[in-house]
Structure 1
Amino acid sequence: MADRVVSEVEWIFLKTLSAKNRFPPLFVVGAPRCGTTIPLLHLVNTFEFSYFPNISKRNPQHPLIAATLGALIWDYTPTTESNYGVVKGPMAPSDGWQIFHRWFPRYDHSEQVDTESLSDLRRMVAFLEFLMGGPFLNKNNNNSTRIQELSQLFPRSLFVHIRRNPRDAVASLIRAREEKGVSPDEWWGVAPPHRHDTAPTGTVERSVLQVCEVDDHIRNSLQEISEYRRFGVWYKSFCEKPERLERWVEDKYDDFGSDFVRHANKPTRTAYTPSSSWKSLSISTRNQVEKLLSIHCR
């Protein structure tokens, strides 16, 4: 009962807010297990960004009230540690899946997007900008297949596309599916939009299709957006020189005339070590992956 009342109060408040955003939001996109979390955390640790914190994700019916109360009680402690994309701490950045699912049905592109209420998402972002003092930043694999809708909702939005050696991404996805106990006939993470109900049964083939075809979908979607608003980088290249991404982000917000703030206590970390699960796969599985990659990846 109390939860419902709080949710209704937030929605009433939300309708009174201006839908005008101070900054272009920044979306980090990539296929599952392609290394999007480390770039996200590097940006959050380097610049003043706003985002859906974990406490908002845990309270998706009233995420703004949760974020406001959370900001009064806790601070975010900069970290580069995560567990399959999940960062510990109530005010640490989250993907906000449960919140975005109000408008974008989870993984299922056959369902209609609730376009009539999408302006509510824009208002939420505007409030988080005010609360946290910086542009909105999000990394959510499901949104990697919603680039067109996000670009229409936020006409100045920026996109960072993280790509990874397909062998490493597939190996990481296979390992994650095994650890999470995912059935061979189920997806784990966002699926290629046109294969939601037509995918083959089998962990290896699903993993290859997921990595290759989601990445293809991202690249095709980004081709519809001005080159000025998008930045692509391989995960290994980012790990070697993260300052390239820093400079691109900083230059873009400078161009927009945004009051963009770099943390005074900027982390001294200037490189990361990319990991790989490739050699943990059996030889037969590696051979199967290589064969499927030669068919499905370009």
Structure 2
Amino acid sequence: MGRMHADEHAIDTTLVRRLVRGQFPLWADLPVTPLASGGTVNAVYRLGDSLTVRLPLTAGGAGDLAKEARILTALDGLPVAVPAVVALGEPAEGYPWAWAVHGWLDGSPALEGRDAPARDLAAFVRALRALPADGPPTRRGKPLSDVDTATRRAIEELRRTDEPFDAAAALAAWAEALEAPQWTGAPSWVHADLMPSNLLLRDGRLSGVLDWATAGVGDPACDLIPAWNLLTADTRHTFREAVGADDATWARGRGRALSMAVIQLPYYRHTNPVISGNARHVLTELGCRPARGGGARLE
């Protein structure tokens, strides 16, 4: 990983040890281990065997910390595990923001293009939607037109790079998504950031879902993005059938996946290989990049 953000705060193991020792002396002697992560908002460290420490990299990420803690303490009845909020730390040792200690969840992050439990993922999405929609609105649950300018700007930026990229195909797919009817049903809970690195697998089953900072109430199409950022054509239709997505919701979900990918790729292509690699996977699945063994179909 390189430095991802111009305003990113320097964080290392020494800082984490000092913060833990100063505020939670009970854990002062536990080993602190940096975790390889594709995350763009927090630096994550394992603390002993049963805890993780999450420190926002920027002021924007710090603003979501309290919201995420409220959401995590309120969730109940999901078929997979979510992180337990164990403690919240305060600014200290030159670190300017609040930070969090969560319970450790066993499992390995999902990987795009590999076998993934489409039915488990659909069951999680449906269970989340079934919860009382009493949470805060999520910015990703708004109409796609809200990100039209940013998406078109990112497509143009990608067009000017050396990425193998079909801008015309991306614009056509984006126009199709914008034309889809908007959500008129009741808002529902959405995670809104179901990237593969936020999905934990154990023994081939979905066991946990991480990173709830963007969660809230909005358009359920937000949580269809794994159809393109994780799954392949072989399992995509299984997921769609199990999750019960109509044509309009499916089209909006496809547009959301496209928008995220074209915005992520130019920003992270030299600093975050996990996120940029996933963006390339999405664009390939959407037919906007050359695919190994032939072109991808827009589904």
TM-score class, shorter: under 0.3
| Greater relative CO (CA pairs within 8 A, separation 6+) | 1
Q: Which has the higher helix share?
A: 1
**Higher relative strand content:** 2
What TM-score results when the alignment is normalised by the length of structure 1? 0.27
When normalised by structure 2's length, the TM-score is: 0.27
